[in-house]
Amino acid sequence: MTAEPARASLIDGKAFAAGLVERVAAASARLEAAHAIKPGLAVVIVGEDPASQIYVRNKGETTLRAGMRSETHRMGETTGQHDLLALIATLNADPGIHGILVQLPLPAHIDSAAVLGAIDPDKDVDGFHVVNAGRLAVGLPGLVPCTPLGCLMVLKAELGDLSGLNAVIVGRSNIVGKPMAQLLLGESCTVTIAHSRTRDLPALCRTADILVAAVGRPEMIRGDWIRPGATIIDVGINRVPSRDPDKAAQGKTRVVGDVAFEEAAEIAGRITPVPGGVGPMTIACLLANTYTAACRSAGIAPDDLSA
């Protein structure tokens, strides 16, 4: 009798996210009861991009479900930068708003960096402001980008102490790769960031106890790139044609990650599926950041939100 090869255990990001939303809701209710502060999040969307519309609606609904205040500001595709900056100035000055998120991408005629830079860093719940990037880099308290924060929470819940582990991050974006590296360095991992110019990426990936994939290339990371027993966090969300050729011909798509899941699951110890992996943690962390910002605005120490 031959033993079945062990398969990786699945990391259920949806369940993690639901737990975090519950803890944020409870902490927000305590903040409101004790200090009469209801955390408030303003989301700004410019234009009609269908995917962005869905993300923004989800953010608003989840915020309300957590018992927090939610505002959505919808602006037309042709909105001028001046009008967008005026709205941000109003939200910066509004004491009932603790978090401001400008949905990206913005229309091409708007300078995204100027807009993100206009948000009060203490209300920057996306953590994209250079002040928050700087705080993260030097280890000061700030607001941390939601996707890498969610990945870190999942990793700590799954693995406990991360110190001394080799972490390889594939992708060097300001939104995921770079802040992920800072966070893992803060946990005393040995961190390598790989990117399109990295030599022998498969060999580098094989050194990883923790592999975070955030490149946006469907199923690029293959099973034989993975160290047996490694923990794989797949941040990629890529649309590819349906497996069924008839459906593909009709334009039907499916969503895959940056990791070839079936192959990887044969080798890894733990893995996040796509969909259903760390994706739902992003909104949960947005609410956590809004709660944190609300506490700090009043000089109150936020409750610990870890599981």
**Site size with ligand GUN, rule: CB under 6 A:** 7
| DSSP classification of residue 192 | E
The answer to the question of residue 102 lying near ligand GUN (CB under 6 A) is yes
- Nearest Cα residue to 208 out of 196, 224, 191: 191
Binding mask 57-96 for ligand GUN (x = CB under 6 A): ----------------------------------------
103, 123, 124, 258: the active-site residue: 103
**Closest CB to ligand GUN: residue number:** 104
44 and 102 Cβ atoms separated by less than 8 Å:
yes
Q: Specify the residue, 28 or 103, whose C-beta has the smaller distance to ligand GUN.
A: 103
- Please count the helices (runs of H) and the strands (runs of E) in the chain: 11, 11
Spell out a b/e string for 41-57, using b for 16 or more CB atoms within 10 Å of the CB, else e.
bbbbbbbebeebeebbe
The answer to the question of residue 101 lying near ligand GUN (CB under 6 A) is yes
Binding mask 141-160 for ligand GUN (x = CB under 6 A): -----x--------------
Query: Active site includes 120?
Result: no
Q: Specify the residue, 102 or 295, whose C-beta has the smaller distance to ligand GUN.
A: 102
From 33-41, 98-106, 238-246, 293-301, span contacting ligand GUN (CB under 6 A):
98-106
List the one residue from 120, 126, 187, 219 that touches ligand GUN (CB under 6 A). 126
Minimum distance of ligand GUN from residue 56's CB (angstroms): 9
Q: Specify the residue, 41 or 226, whose C-beta has the smaller distance to ligand GUN.
A: 41
120, 126, 234, 258: the active-site residue: 126
Q: Specify the residue, 146 or 205, whose C-beta has the smaller distance to ligand GUN.
A: 146
Minimum distance of ligand GUN from residue 1's CB (angstroms): 49
List the one residue from 10, 29, 75, 104 that touches ligand GUN (CB under 6 A). 104
Side-chain half-sphere CA neighbours of 113 within 13 A: 2
Minimum distance of ligand GUN from residue 103's CB (angstroms): 5
Q: Specify the residue, 128 or 225, whose C-beta has the smaller distance to ligand GUN.
A: 128
Binding mask 275-304 for ligand GUN (x = CB under 6 A): -------x----------------------
- Nearest Cα residue to 102 out of 92, 93, 112: 112
The full DSSP string for 15-56 is HHHHHHHHHHHHHHHHHHHHH----EEEEEEES--HHHHHHH
The full DSSP string for 138-180 is HT------HHHHHHHHHHHHHHS--TT-EEEEE---TTTHHHH
215 token code pair: 């490149």
Residue list 234-253, contact with ligand GUN (CB under 6 A): none
In whole angstroms, give the CA distance from residue 179 to residue 186. Answer: 10
Query: Active site includes 59?
Result: yes
The full DSSP string for 200-247 is SHHHHHTT-SEEEE-S--TT-B-GGGS-TT-EEEE---EEEE-SSHHH
Query: Active site includes 182?
Result: no
In whole angstroms, give the CA distance from residue 12 to residue 242. Answer: 24
In Å, how far from its chain's centre is CA 291?
Answer: 16
Q: Which residues are catalytic?
A: 59, 103, 126
Return residues touching ligand GUN (CB under 6 A): 101-104, 126, 146, 282
